[in-house]
A and B are shown apart, each in its own frame.
Chain A
Amino acid sequence: MNAHKTRSWRLEKMATTLIWLFLIVACILVVIPLVFMFTAAAMPARDILRMPYPWIPEGFYWQNFWNGLRGPEGTFIFIRNALNSLIVAGTVSAFTVLFSSLAGYGLAKFEFKGRTLVFMLIMATMMIPFEAIMIPLYMVAMRMGLQDTYTGLILPFLANAFGVFLMRQYLITFPDEILDAARIDGASEPRIFSRIVLPSSGPAVATLAILAFRSQWDSLLWPLLVVQSDEMKTIPLYITKFMAETHSDEGIMMAIAVMASIPMIVLFLTLSKYFINKDGLTSATKG
C-alpha cells in the first residue's frame, strides 16, 4: 500500500513538473516577440538584423523614438495621429457601450412583439464581413460628407452586434425583482437603466469597452478608405505611411510600434482584473 502510494505520488509530481515546464516554455515563446519589440525599439536599425540578435541594447537609442515622433516630414504629426486614434477608439468604445447596453437591456428585459426578429436581425449583422460592405459603406459616408472627419471614422462602428449580444446575455440574468421593485417605487425606465442596471454591469461593460476600444485602435481598412489628409490619419495609417516609400528604418518602426501599443497595454493592465481572474472570465463574458 505504501509502495503504491509512493508511485502514484511520484507520477503526480512528475506530471506537475512537466506541466510547469510546458507552461513556462510556452510563456517564454509567446512573450519573446514582445521582448523583441521593446529591445529593438531601443537599438539602432543596423543592430536589429544582426546575426545573432543582440538581445540587450547598448544603451537606449532614443533617436528611434524621436524620429518616430517627428515623422517623415518632421512635423510631429504622430502626436496628432495618436490623438486621433485615442479620440476615435474612446468615442466608439463609450458609445458602443451605451447603445449596446440600451439594446441589450431592451432585448433582455422587455417583451415586445417582434423581439425575436429584431434580435435575429442584429445577430445576422455579425456575419457580415467588413470587406463585403466597405464600398457601399464608403459611398454612404461620402454622401453624408463624412470623409476625413472624426464622425466618419466613428459612426459606422457604433452599431456593434457582438456588444448587443454580450449585454443581452449578461442582463438576462439580472434579477427581475430589483427592476420591479424600482418600478413600484415610481422610478422611470431611463432612471432604472442608468442608476441600477448600468452600474451593476461592470464586468460586461468593461469587457465590451476594452474589446471595442481595441478593435478601433487596430482598425486599418476603414481609415484607409475614409481618411484623406495627414492630420486625420490614425496610428495604423501612420505606420503604413512610414513603412511605404521613403524610409523603413527598423528601429524607428519598432519605436513607433511601442508608442502605439502603450495605451492598449495600460488599458490591459488596469482593466484585466475584470475579465481575467484565477477562475477565468466571469460568466458575463462566456458568450
Chain B
Amino acid sequence: MHRKRGFSMEKKKARWGWVFVTPSLILFAAFSFYPIINAFYESFFNRNLLSLRPPRFVGWDNYIYLFGSKDFWLSVQNTLIFTLGTFLPLLVFSLVLAVFIMSIKRFRRFFQMAFYSPAVLSSVVAALIWLLIFDPRGLANQGLNALMGTAGVNYNWLSTTGMLRLSTIVVYFWKYIGYFTVIFVSGIGSIPDTLREAALIDGANRWTLFWYVTLPLLKPTTMLVSIMAMIQCLKTFSTQYMFTNAGAPTRPINVITLNIYNTAIKDYRIGRATAMSILLFIVMFAFTWLQLKVSRTEEVSHM
C-alpha cells in the first residue's frame, strides 16, 4: 500500500514535469524544429522566390554545387579566419585580464564593468561607431599614426583585405572581451581560497601560483569559454553586414552567414541558401555538443 502511494505520486510528478515543459516545447516545435526541417526540405529544391511555379526537385545538387564552389569555400575560409582570429585573442586576453583583476585588491568591480560596457551596445550601434573610427579621417588612423610616429598614413582599415578582416575582428573582440573576462573572473573566484593559501604557504610566488594552481583548475572554464567564443564567432553577421553595406568590399569578409543571407535575399536561391544553412548547422551542432559535454564535466567539483 505504501508502494502504491509512492508510485502514484511519481506519476503525478511526471505529469507536472510535462506540464511545466510543454509551453516551451510547443514554441520550440513551431519556431525551431519546424523551420529547420523545412529548411532541410527546401535544400533539395530549386525555388525561385518570385515565380508562382512550384519549385523544382534537384536532390543533392545544391550540396554538390556547394562543395565544388570556390565562392563557398572562400566563405568557409573567411569564417575560419574570423573565428580563429577572434576567439584566440579573446581567450588569451580575457584570461589574462581576469587573472590581473583578481590579483588586485580593489576596483575589481570597476574594471569588470569597464571591460563589459561595450557588450551593452547593440551591434548596429557598435558597427556605426567603428565605421567612423575606421574612416580614413577617423581615430584609428590618427591613433596608429601617433603610435608609429608616422604622419598621414592611411592604414586602409576598410579597404585592403587584411586590414578589413582585422577591423571586423577588432570590433568583435572589443564587444565580447568583457563578457568572457567576467566568466573567467567567476571561474577564478570559485577556486577556494584555501587552495591558494596552501600553495602560497608552500612557497609559490605569483607566477607559479598561476601556472600550476589557477590554470589547471580553470581548465573546464577555459574549455567552456573557448567553445562559447567559437560558436559566437561562427554566428557573426551584423558586423560584416553593416560594413559591407557601408561600402567595404565583400569578398574578404563574406562569412557563411552573410553568404546565406545574400544568396537567399539578393540572389533568390533559396535551395542553395538553405543547403548552406544546413551545413552551418551541422558544424555548429558539433561545437555545441562539445560545449555541453564540457559543461557537464565542469559540474564535477574542484576537489
Contact = CB atoms under 8 A, between A and B. Distances in A.
Chains A and B bind each other: yes
B213 interface: no
Interface of B: 10, 13-21, 23-25, 27-28, 30-36, 38-39, 42, 97-98, 100-101, 103-104, 108-109, 111-125, 128-130, 132-133, 135, 137-139, 142, 174, 177-178, 182-190, 205-206, 221, 224, 234-235, 237-238, 241, 245-246, 257, 260-261, 264, 270, 273-274, 277-278, 280-281, 284-285, 287-289, 292, 295, 298
Interface of B is mostly: helix
B109 A281 contact: no
A280 interface: yes
Given A30-B174, A220-B124, A111 B24 contact: no
B14 A111 contact: yes
A56 to B, nearest CB: 14
Contact of A49 (B13, B137, B189): B137
A178 interface: no
Contact of B117 (A31, A111, A139, A218): A31
Contact of B31 (A127, A131, A156, A287): A156
A185 B23 CA distance: 27
B100 A275 contact: no
A40 interface: yes
Classify the interface of chain A: helix, strand, loop or mixed: helix
Contact of A236 (B124, B205, B260): B124
Nearest to A22: B100
B117 A34 contact: yes
A65 interface: no
Contacts of A272: 113, 116
A273 to B, nearest CB: 8
A164 B24 contact: yes
A106 B264 contact: no
Given A121-B28, A272-B113, A280-B182, 7 more contacts: A27-B114, A102-B23, A132-B39, A159-B28, A220-B124, A261-B122, A278-B109
Residue of A111, A127, A155, A254 with most partner-chain B CB within 10 A: A127
A280 B185 contact: yes
Contacts of A109: 17
A131 B257 contact: yes
B34 A132 contact: no
Contacts of A15: 206
A209 interface: no
Contacts of A118: 21, 25
Contacts of B13: 110-112
Contacts of B280: 129, 131-132
Interface string A35-60: 01100100000001111110000000
Interface in A161-184: 161, 164
The 10 closest A-B pairs by CB, nearest first: A110-B17, A106-B20, A280-B186, A132-B277, A279-B189, A280-B185, A133-B35, A159-B27, A112-B14, A281-B186
A113 interface: yes
A257 B20 contact: no
Interface string A1-45: 000000010011001100110110011001111101100100000
A235 B292 contact: no
A282 B186 CA distance: 7
Contact of B104 (A20, A30, A133, A267): A20
A217 B32 contact: no
Contacts of B14: 110-113
20 contacts: A12-B206, A19-B100, A26-B115, A100-B24, A103-B21, A106-B19, A111-B10, A113-B14, A121-B28, A131-B237, A132-B277, A135-B39, A135-B270, A140-B30, A159-B24, A257-B125, A278-B109, A279-B186, A280-B186, A286-B183
Contacts of B104: 16, 19-20, 23
A19 B19 CA distance: 53
Contact of B97 (A23, A136, A267, A285): A23
A34 B132 CA distance: 12
Nearest to B278: A132
Contacts of B21: 102-103, 106-107, 118
Contact of A260 (B38, B125, B289): B125
A23 B288 CA distance: 32
A110 B261 contact: no
B117 A285 contact: no
A287 B113 CA distance: 20
B18 A106 contact: yes
Nearest to B21: A106
B125 A261 contact: yes
Contact of A140 (B34, B112, B245): B34
B132 A250 contact: yes
B24 A193 contact: no
